[in-house]
Amino acid sequence: MRYCHFDDAAKEYVIETPATPLPWINYLGNEDFFSLISNTGGGYSFYKDAKLRRITRYRYNNVPGDNGSCCYYLSLMDSADADAKPIETWSPTFLPAKTPLDSYRCRQGIGYTVFESSKRGIESKLTAFVPLHTNAEINRLDVTNTTDAPVVIDATASVEWCLWNAVDDSSNFQCNLSTGEVEIEHENDATLLYHKTEFKERRNHYAFFAVNSPTIGFDTSRDEFLGQFNGWDTPQVIAEGKAHDSVAHGWFPIAANRVRLELKPGETKSLVFVLGYIEVAKDQKWEDPDDPAKVGIINKKPAHDLFRRFVTVEQVEAALSELNAYWTDLLSTYSVESGDEKLDRMVNIWHQYQCMVTFNMSRSASYYESGMGRGMGFRDSNQDLLGFVHLVPQHARQRIIDIASTQMEDGSAWHQYQPLTKKGNADIGGSFNDDPLWLVAGTYAYLAETGDVSILTEPVPFNNVEGSEVPLLEHLRRSVNFTVTHKGPHGIPLIGRADWNDCLNLNCFSDTPGESFQTVENNDTGVAESVFIGGMFVLYGGQYVDIIEHYGQATGMTDEQTTAEAAAMRNEIAAVNDAVKTAGWDGEWFLRAHDAYSRKVGTHEDTEGQIYIEPQGMCVMAGIGLDDGKAQQALESVKDKLTCDWGTAILAPAYSIYRIELGEISSYARGYKENGGIFCHNNPWISIANALANNDDEAFAVYKRNCPAYVEDKSDVRKVEPYVYCQMVAGPEAATPGEGKNS
């Protein structure tokens, strides 16, 4: 491969050049503290919520595109004198310095990233990871002199602080350019630089960046560190060869530590850098609130305690070994030995790893999701459970409770919620009518994996309102009944603002620039129906019936209540099933919807958007049409009309003009995103549907067409990471078919 290769034994993806088509990133963290790190050292860190607790700054739409995270500089100095000058400077991660390296390798592992590089006979190894149960990122830097002469290397590491709220940090400059605050501490041969913006006012948390070695200088002012006309590739203090020991007062606070390493031939020295996040009780914020001389000095004991856990190489190695053992245990829960190296690799390692990361993030933060708006998705988080629940069931249980707590009393739900507050995101609102049914899907998956019936009796509030708690089973009941009571003129469920396809906005009718297609409703006639939700209701309504029949008695239901409710729900399911097979059938495939005028969407009668993938997958997974040939016919139509070398497109033909009655879906260029792109998320529905229809070879063929390992040799075209799925691959009608986006 030009760029890379899999190392299955090490569970790593090995990248041999920094010049990948796009930044290829890894996610570090398992619980509350997370870092994104690219193969050239870009990224950012946050605690729980990338909007409300952003720790380091990242600039979207930046040039070059990859930036942020911890910036490392190695400077070969002309002497060990105080006024020594740099002979040459490079970054062990290539960026930000961009100095060509003599050798480079990035190993993206399971929960860690390693950079191995060399320049002028100086080898470096930088290992980054987030330890278990720790709100910190650890960076171990090993520097080795392979020359036959002594050398002096100045190692500088820096981070740029985000002022906590990522939205405010990137917009409210008239205010936040005057709020940044720092503290500097030299403690036991180590230097700790603290970010304490707003700590004296309303916050009880701070961050720090520390190194386990005496420093020869530091900087906390970005302006001092970079200089007036320099960027992160050539900071002024690096060019000068000397830190300024600057103290930030507002403007742009950073943390940069400079350490001098004098290396004999063959000698290796190691440094440990810790980026940590600390929360303290509000009555314990200050070092000594009763001492006037110490007013405003933050309580650093928790930071010291955290830092001291990683001050030696042995401690760092132990923490990394613990992390590796954790992942080895998790991945041993489920594995296959198929004889197909690529299948085994993806199922046993990378699929499960991506499912874990996706569960943690729910798409809320990446290089493509800014983390500033969406938060955790109600639908998304429930779907994530399906691939994650076998890994850490107890986390899945808590996530179900968190999700259900954002449901409304009528069974509808907030479409998104913020992970820090767990409150619904009012900017997006609700009325995505598929959302409630996904709660049934997620809970059913949890019950099937664990048999933990106690979750059904867990008290869960509506909209996080104290005193509104009801058992989780009642939330599921209201989910299915929401669909029962929200059907259109054909007996098919109403779509609301949208369903799984957020860009199919049949009630929006937007012609005003800047309006959100997802939140504007200009023509909600109560008519627009989703055949896709119809399939969902048949599938997940059936799962709800299974739940009450298996566990109803354990939740306090009598046999009579269980029998009556199950029978009533089966009648509702049968009615929707029949409606989909009649009013939702186009002759050779399932319709996508009926619009606000009750006209067909996804029909051969249209010139564009004739067939959509979602109802074909969902309806067949629900068993609709398996008895009369409709399911088989729909899948044959998918293969004939939607399938290409890169996977199965979301629709065809793509829309060439804006269709106001359809919404955002028709606003994208042909072949991209929801307008004819290939969505990796819904391609598996077609695999599952084919398997249920006994089309085994086609089920596996669908899987292979866009599975990362099977298209690794096309990385020049696909561009995104070859070890994970991205959101979308450009479809056959696109100008650049096969190009991936949003990983």
pLDDT band (50, 70, 90) for residue 124: very high
Q: What is the largest CA-CA distance in the chain?
A: 88
pLDDT band (50, 70, 90) for residue 1: low
- Asked if residue 298 lies in contact with residue 199, where contact means CB atoms within 8 angstroms, the answer is yes
Domain 488-534+577-743: assigned CATH number: 1.50.10.10
Matching CATH topology for 341-486 and 488-534+577-743? yes
Q: Which residues contact 388 (CB under 8 A, 6 or more apart)?
A: 355, 356, 358, 359, 395, 396
- Asked if residue 55 lies in contact with residue 46, where contact means CB atoms within 8 angstroms, the answer is yes
> Nearest-CA neighbor of 334 among 344, 326, 320?
344
pLDDT above 90 (res 523): no
pLDDT above 60 (res 182): yes
Mean pLDDT value across residues 522-531: 89
Evaluated on CA atoms 66, 68, 70, 74, the torsion sign reads: positive
Reply yes or no on whether 502 is catalytic.
yes
- Asked if residue 211 lies in contact with residue 271, where contact means CB atoms within 8 angstroms, the answer is yes
Interval 59-93: pLDDT, tens: 888 888 888 778 999 999 999 999 999 999 999 99
Counting every residue written for the chain, the total comes to: 743
Q: In one letter, which amino acid is 155?
A: A
pLDDT above 80 (res 524): no
Interval 694-723: pLDDT, tens: 999 999 999 999 999 999 999 999 999 999
Give CA–CA dist 300/289, Å, rounded.
13
Interval 400-451: pLDDT, tens: 999 999 999 999 999 988 877 878 876 777 889 999 999 999 999 999 999 9
**pTM for this one?**
0.95
Give CA–CA dist 336/348, Å, rounded.
7
Backbone torsions φ then ψ of 304, nearest 5 degrees: -60, -45
C-alpha 565: how far from chain center: 38
- Asked if residue 343 lies in contact with residue 336, where contact means CB atoms within 8 angstroms, the answer is yes
Backbone torsions φ then ψ of 238, nearest 5 degrees: -70, -45
Give CA–CA dist 539/531, Å, rounded.
13
Mean pLDDT value across residues 347-351: 98
Which region among 289-303, 400-414, 479-493 has the lowest average model confidence (pLDDT)?
A: 289-303
CA distances (Å), origin 205, targets 11, 232, 563, 591 = 35, 27, 53, 52
- Asked if residue 91 lies in contact with residue 173, where contact means CB atoms within 8 angstroms, the answer is no
Backbone torsions φ then ψ of 343, nearest 5 degrees: -65, -45
Interval 25-63: pLDDT, tens: 999 998 899 999 999 999 999 999 999 999 999 988 888
- Asked if residue 535 lies in contact with residue 626, where contact means CB atoms within 8 angstroms, the answer is no
Tokens of residue 737, six digits: 């078919």
> Nearest-CA neighbor of 666 among 655, 678, 677?
655
pLDDT for residue 426: 66
Select which of 499, 502, 586, 595 is catalytic: 502
Mean pLDDT value across residues 272-283: 95
Interval 600-654: pLDDT, tens: 999 999 999 999 999 999 999 999 999 999 999 999 999 999 999 999 999 999 9
574-599 b/e (C-beta count within 10 Å ≥ 16 → b): eebbebbbebbbbeebbbbbbbbeee
Give the HSE-up count for residue 462: Cα atoms under 13 Å, Cβ half-sphere. Answer: 15
- Structure letter (DSSP) for residue 334: S
- Asked if residue 471 lies in contact with residue 555, where contact means CB atoms within 8 angstroms, the answer is yes
- Asked if residue 253 lies in contact with residue 247, where contact means CB atoms within 8 angstroms, the answer is no
pLDDT above 90 (res 367): no
Mean pLDDT value across residues 361-366: 81
Tokens of residue 368, six digits: 């493509």
Interval 436-448: pLDDT, tens: 999 999 999 999 9
- Asked if residue 633 lies in contact with residue 589, where contact means CB atoms within 8 angstroms, the answer is yes
Give CA–CA dist 495/532, Å, rounded.
9
pLDDT above 80 (res 292): no
Interval 4-14: pLDDT, tens: 999 999 999 99
Give CA–CA dist 621/607, Å, rounded.
28
> Nearest-CA neighbor of 122 among 264, 312, 316?
264
What are 205's strand-pairing partners?
279
pLDDT for residue 390: 96
pLDDT above 80 (res 594): yes
Give CA–CA dist 533/625, Å, rounded.
16
Q: Which residues contact 184 (CB under 8 A, 6 or more apart)?
A: 191, 192, 193, 194, 218, 220, 247
- Asked if residue 22 lies in contact with residue 719, where contact means CB atoms within 8 angstroms, the answer is yes
As a whole number of Å, the end-to-end CA separation of the chain is 20
Give CA–CA dist 28/615, Å, rounded.
36
* CATH (one of 2.70.98.40, 2.40.110.10, 1.10.1060.10, 3.60.110.10) for 4-327: 2.70.98.40
Residue 90, helix vs strand vs coil = strand
Neighbours of 75 (CB within 10 A): 23
Q: Which residues contact 78 (CB under 8 A, 6 or more apart)?
A: 84, 85, 86, 87, 152
Surface-to-core class of residue 440, CB atoms within 10 Å of its CB (0-12 exposed, 13-18 middle, 19+ buried): buried
What are 471's strand-pairing partners?
459
SS (HEC) of 101-121:
CCEEEEEECCCEEEEEEEECC
- Structure letter (DSSP) for residue 585: B
Give CA–CA dist 495/433, Å, rounded.
5
Evaluated on CA atoms 436, 440, 441, 442, the torsion sign reads: positive
Surface-to-core class of residue 726, CB atoms within 10 Å of its CB (0-12 exposed, 13-18 middle, 19+ buried): buried
pLDDT for residue 652: 98
pLDDT > 70: percent of the chain: 99
Instruction: Please name the residue that has the structure tokens 């999700």.
Output: 403
Give CA–CA dist 328/102, Å, rounded.
34
Give CA–CA dist 533/494, Å, rounded.
8
Q: In one letter, which amino acid is 532?
A: F
Domain residue spans in the chain?
4-327, 341-486, 488-534+577-743
pLDDT above 90 (res 114): yes
Interval 326-344: pLDDT, tens: 999 999 999 999 999 999 9
Q: In one letter, which amino acid is 439?
A: L
Neighbours of 150 (CB within 10 A): 12
Interval 645-702: pLDDT, tens: 999 999 999 999 999 999 999 999 999 999 999 999 999 999 999 999 999 999 999 9
- Asked if residue 22 lies in contact with residue 48, where contact means CB atoms within 8 angstroms, the answer is no
Q: Is the peptide bond before 64 cis (omega within 30 degrees of 0)?
A: yes
- Asked if residue 468 lies in contact with residue 462, where contact means CB atoms within 8 angstroms, the answer is yes
pLDDT for residue 416: 87
Give CA–CA dist 722/708, Å, rounded.
5
Q: Which CATH architecture has domain 341-486?
A: Alpha/alpha barrel (1.50)
- Asked if residue 459 lies in contact with residue 469, where contact means CB atoms within 8 angstroms, the answer is yes
Which runs of E-coded beta strand occur in 527-599?
529-530, 593-594
- Asked if residue 36 lies in contact with residue 69, where contact means CB atoms within 8 angstroms, the answer is yes
Evaluated on CA atoms 519, 426, 728, 619, the torsion sign reads: negative
